[in-house]
A and B are shown apart, each in its own frame.
Chain A
Amino acid sequence: MMGAREWLMLAGLAVLIVLVGMWFKVPTTIQILITALAYALIALGLNVQWGYGGLFNFGVMGFVMLGGYATVLVGYDVNPDFWGSEGPVMLARALLAAAIGAALILATMQVHRIGIKGRLRTFLLIVAWAIAYFGYRSQVDPAAVYIEREAGFVGGLGLPVLIGWVVGGVLAGAVGFLIGKICLGLRTDYLAIATIGISEIVRALMKNMDWLTRGTLTVSPIPWPVPQQQDVVAMGVTNDTLALSVSRSMYLVVTLVVIAVLYVLLQRAYYGPWGRMMRAIRDNHVAAASMGKNVKRRQLEIFVIGSVLMGIGGAILTGYVQLYDPSSFQPINYTFIVWVMVIVGGAGNNLGALFGGVLIILIWNISDPLSQLLFLELNDGLAAAGLPTIDNVEVRALQMRVFVLGLVIVLALRYAPKGLIPERIRSREEPEQSTRA
């Protein structure tokens, strides 16, 4: 399974990690590695959707946000003000309204069975949607106002945050299922635009539903699943840096375990009949459909699995920084960067996605100080030549990351279109031999 190219790439990555570790301090390096692994998991999710299934998901950010919110909902402290008020009852009424609305829509969809067809059915559907929408709004709007006034926001459930990781996956998967149901019939570029829209809507909701997420006021601190620095100090480690390293390493280990388990499962699925079927659908869905494969259902399956991985990745990321700030989510940092990872790493190859995830985060983190150095050098030269120098070096250097990211993806598309670790297709007769160029 591992050829010379893979070993070479992984060795290069290891050298890079060591170099970064020598440059930054140890706790910082561990922090970068945790971020890198969380992103690698998100990239794995996108690789399932794009690499296995050929589904163009440009809404990664939305799923990451949902996963992140799950850690708040599950892990954050219980808000007694909310539970002691009328809030839960009002929210339950809103939920009931939503459920009745959904039932109404589903029932209207079935009217063709009693002979109502064509335009009349469409009209009835529109009416049903309108009733459902305004019915829900009439319940949820006063509830939102009331909760924000009386309790701030709904708070969390105070459960172990690891459950939040699971819930993050489930939540993202459920939303992925709904989106997939609506959008998966669309053509590639239409799907891209539709998913970008969905992630923007998720962001708008998270930002403005103050009663649920506290919006721009942000939620923190979200607890960790492992002891934090002060806990390690309390256990008798006197060196602060060491304590920080120990605590972060534990978070890293937990993340590693999650990724290792998911990776093994995905690898097994990929090399099993299921993976073969998926690749067949991706490469020629007409042929696959003619062989009796239920293309739409399989694609939905893959979309949900990818979304679950993204949700878990988002939960790990948000859980690590302990802060949920909906306005800090930008498509560049959470959607496009993940695409760069999958393209550079090698679409269709799990190892490639992991590799790309770690590599791109390393590049992302070192291009800021590197460009600062570059600018300062430039400034020295400019000053020596008597020219005006560059101001705001720190702010500007930070923006260089985005440029470097763009450059990496166009270079990869041009010179390594299959990625640095390309997908390998093994045939039954000659394992290790045939690779798709």
Chain B
Amino acid sequence: MNDFIFFINKVLVVGTVQGSIYALGAVGVTLIFGILRFAHFAHGDMMTMGAFIAYALATIAAALGIQTFWPTGFIVLPLAIPITFAAALVIDRAFYRPLRERGAKPVTLLIASIGVTLMLQGLIRLFGGVQPLSFFENETKELFRVTLPLEGANRPITFSEPQLLLIAATVISVVALHLFLTRSRLGKGMRAMADNPDLARVSGINTDQVIRATWIIAGSLACIAGTMLALDVSLKADLAFNILLAIFAAAIVGGLGHAYGAIAGGFLVGFSETLAVFNWAILLRPFKDAIPWEVPADLSIVPTEYKLTVAFVILVLVLLFRPTGIFRGAST
């Protein structure tokens, strides 16, 4: 039974956490693609930037002696989110809008987003340094242990407070996004513009406003995802660049431009990764006597070092066989 709980800890918990982060990032990428028609490569660094803003605010809060039941990094989010999306709006205004107005091709904007990536990386390293930082220097990271009332299960299911908060934050964000996209005028305008920009414009939708809303949503989600990721592991300058591929894979699996698809894609990629690196020999251990041949010690599909290849393989397979994503025909 303990082996099964190990499976839950390693696959279900970790997969949900990874999936949530990928989903939050992928929604931003997919919205930007839907509205502005370019792959926003700076999105990973926008997440890192959000995390660093939250870290700076948490440091200030700690210096002021503010300490609550919740992790300080989580408490400062309501302040960090507006700062992050304000930065996203400034970036758009300074670097993307001039190109858009010139009528530049989407590829040019993509290259510009590489420039933005480099500038953000430079600034983050300039101010934050390259060494890993922890949100939990002055507080303890709470761990929850749930013991299942099952026979033979004496190991608990373990997850940490940031992980729980992350999942809660993801659920709230997704519900809020859904309500925004389906109920509000601006959200409907966004979907219209994603479907057909010219038609949206002649129908009197304020495209500038829609673009601003896109950056606000994408920036907010990036800030949440980055901060929660940094709370879960640690804060580094290349925190989110390393998961950029997984985020893009998630967005493409769901179909670029489709917000709900991106959420599903995020969890799909997250679970695929954890399932692929999970050592299946552990689940076979209880049946050791029943299996006639010897079970090898390591039965993972992909060694942990090559976890990245999972996202890549999913990406290439989807692009080759279902380039519009796995939910072909879905709108939004």
Contacts and interface: CB of A to CB of B under 8 A. Distances in A.
Interface string B112-147: 101111111111011001100000000000000000
B119 A400 contact: no
Interface in A178-208: 182-183, 185-190, 192-194, 196-198, 200-201, 204-205, 207-208
Contact of A193 (B38, B120, B248, B309): B248
Interface stretch (A71-79, A229-237, A380-388, A391-399): A391-399
Contact of B125 (A187, A204, A399): A399
Contacts of B153: none
A340 B319 CA distance: 27
Contacts of B126: 396, 399-400, 403
A197 B312 contact: yes
Interface in B241-267: 241, 244-245, 248-249, 252
Interface stretch (B52-60, B81-89, B100-108): B100-108
A319 B160 CA distance: 47
A406 B116 CA distance: 6
Q: 8 nearest interchain CB pairs?
A: A403-B122, A406-B118, A406-B119, A409-B115, A402-B122, A399-B125, A197-B312, A410-B115
B30 to A, nearest CB: 12
B39 A200 contact: no
Nearest to B309: A201
Interface of A: 56, 182-183, 185-190, 192-194, 196-198, 200-201, 204-205, 207-208, 331-332, 336, 339-340, 343, 392, 395-396, 399-410, 413-414, 417
B209 to A, nearest CB: 24
Contacts of B107: 56, 188-189
A392 B108 CA distance: 36
Contacts of A339: 111, 114
B306 A406 contact: no
Given A403-B123, A406-B115, 5 more contacts: A189-B110, A194-B312, A339-B114, A395-B129, A405-B118
Contact of B306 (A193, A204, A332, A336): A204
Interface of A is mostly: helix
Contact of A196 (B98, B104, B245): B245
B308 A204 contact: yes
Contacts of A395: 129-130
B129 A392 contact: yes
B111 A193 contact: no
B315 interface: yes
B253 to A, nearest CB: 12
Contact of B316 (A182, A332, A399): A182
Contacts of B248: 193
A332 B104 contact: no
A187 B252 CA distance: 12
Contacts of B244: 196
Given A332-B121, A399-B125, A410 B112 contact: yes
A409 B98 contact: no
Contacts of A409: 111-112, 114-115, 118
Contacts of B151: none
B320 interface: yes
9 contacts: A192-B110, A336-B117, A336-B118, A396-B125, A399-B130, A404-B122, A406-B121, A413-B108, A417-B108
Contacts of B311: 197
Nearest to A402: B122
Contacts of B119: 402-403, 406-407, 410
A120 to B, nearest CB: 16
B108 A190 contact: no
B237 to A, nearest CB: 9
Contacts of A399: 122, 125-126, 130
A15 to B, nearest CB: 26
Nearest to A193: B248
Nearest to A200: B308
Most buried by A among B102, B106, B122, B305: B122
B187 interface: no
Given A201-B312, A409-B111, A417-B104, A207 B305 contact: yes
Nearest to A414: B98
A182 B313 CA distance: 11
Nearest to A182: B316
B4 interface: no
Interface string B1-43: 0000000000000000000000000000000000000110100
A200 B308 CA distance: 8
Contacts of B111: 339, 343, 409, 413
B40 to A, nearest CB: 10
A413 B115 contact: yes
B99 interface: yes
Contact of B99 (A185, A192, A405, A414): A414
B95 interface: yes
